[in-house]
Amino acid sequence: MLKQLAANLEQLDLAHDHLMLGDANNARFALMLTDNAIEITLHHIAELQAGSNRSWHRDKEFKYERELADALGRNFEPKVKFARLMGHFSQEVSETILTAHGYRNEVYHIGVKHEELLPALSRFYFSVACDVLATLKSVGIGWGSNLKIPERAKKYFPNHDKRFMPGSWEEYRAGCSLLASKVSGSDDALRAHLASHMDRVITEKDEFIKYLQGGYPRDKRPTREQIVIDCQAWPVTFSEAGKAFLRSNPPSGKSVHSYVQWIGEHYPLQYRNDPIPSWRKRLQGVRGEKNSHKALRKYQMFMDETSAVRGWIDEATSALDAHVEEEIERMRGN
């Protein structure tokens, strides 16, 4: 177990070095290192419980047998769920861990940069991880004489040169607490950053809707509500769900335009009103939240729930840009 504890400190120490550089790329490395320490530890928690369950002195059935089996698999979420059920952290901390892990997967596997959010999120997740890893329930701290404390972790274990028990739980927890103290204030910074980024996202979509309105002659300019409906109706029409809806509710017209109009009028679209006012109310909820875990949850729910329609507004804006460029070239005679 001491080997795992030392490895945790080694990864957290390296993650801290990257965090201190302040840029998004180093924040990405810090996020991956922090998340890796969490994931390995959560899996180890499950392994320890499985070993305990196999013990000859077990006298009653384990309450979370199914959850334990899931936690021993490859997926991350069951590991978080099992550790929460075993009392290692709260529900809101588990939600933060899952959210941060989602970002880690996107920046590592998909290539999404998240440059606006990564520095603040990585610092906060680092702080959360230090607290989570520091409060692990004590178990045996076995150590083999042929094992060595990793170089980066030696600073946290004053007796690292000893051949027998070169470290203790107390030293490990002190190391976690020391690292956490080096990013103090990360929760306040995260809340401010979430609100700021959410504000920019909403303001941008507000401006895009205004721009899309301006693409029509003044005497035929649609309402903002109609712009939002049109932004949804076009992609929905060509989706599998939209095609199925058209088959079950066939419109009288047979043109693409009539299909899109029918979808806009009859399909249960996510938004039939201008979403900006309701989005700004949600922004105030994030801005006024004093609990950083809850602020992150509110922010992430907004980003997830509005992702599709925001993307469709972007696509419509890009299409109008292309049309404007074509008209300019046509007027130039090109």
- Radius of gyration, alpha carbons of the chain: 26
In the prediction, which pLDDT does 59 show? 60
pLDDT tens digits, 248-307:
988 888 899 999 999 999 999 999 999 999 999 999 999 999 999 999 999 999 999 999
Give how far Cα 61 sits from Cα of 44, 52, 316, Å: 21, 12, 58
Q: What is the dihedral of CA 280, 291, 102, 7, to 10 degrees?
A: 160
Q: Are 231 and 312 in contact (CB under 8 A)?
A: yes
The distance from CA 249 to its chain's CA centroid, rounded to whole angstroms, is 38
Paired tokens of 112 = 């999404």
pLDDT tens digits, 222-238:
999 999 999 999 999 99
In the prediction, which pLDDT does 56 show? 47
Q: How far apart are alpha carbons 80 and 88 in whole angstroms?
A: 9
Give how far Cα 110 sits from Cα of 119, 124, 154, Å: 18, 22, 35
> Locate tokens 């696509």: which residue?
315
The pTM is what? 0.90
Q: How far apart are alpha carbons 317 and 206 in whole angstroms?
A: 12
Q: Are 166 and 160 in contact (CB under 8 A)?
A: yes
Phi, psi of 223, deg, nearest 5: -70, 165
Among 128, 45, 107, residue whose Cα is nearest residue 81: 45
Q: What three-state secondary structure class fits 65? A: helix
Paired tokens of 50 = 């499985």
Amino acid of residue 114: H
> Helix 292-331 and helix 91-105: axis angle, to 10°?
30
In the prediction, which pLDDT does 58 show? 57
Q: Are 4 and 36 in contact (CB under 8 A)?
A: no
Q: How far apart are alpha carbons 261 and 2 in whole angstroms?
A: 65
List of the chain residues with pLDDT < 70: 55-59, 109-112, 138-146, 334
Q: Are 132 and 89 in contact (CB under 8 A)?
A: yes
In the prediction, which pLDDT does 162 show? 75
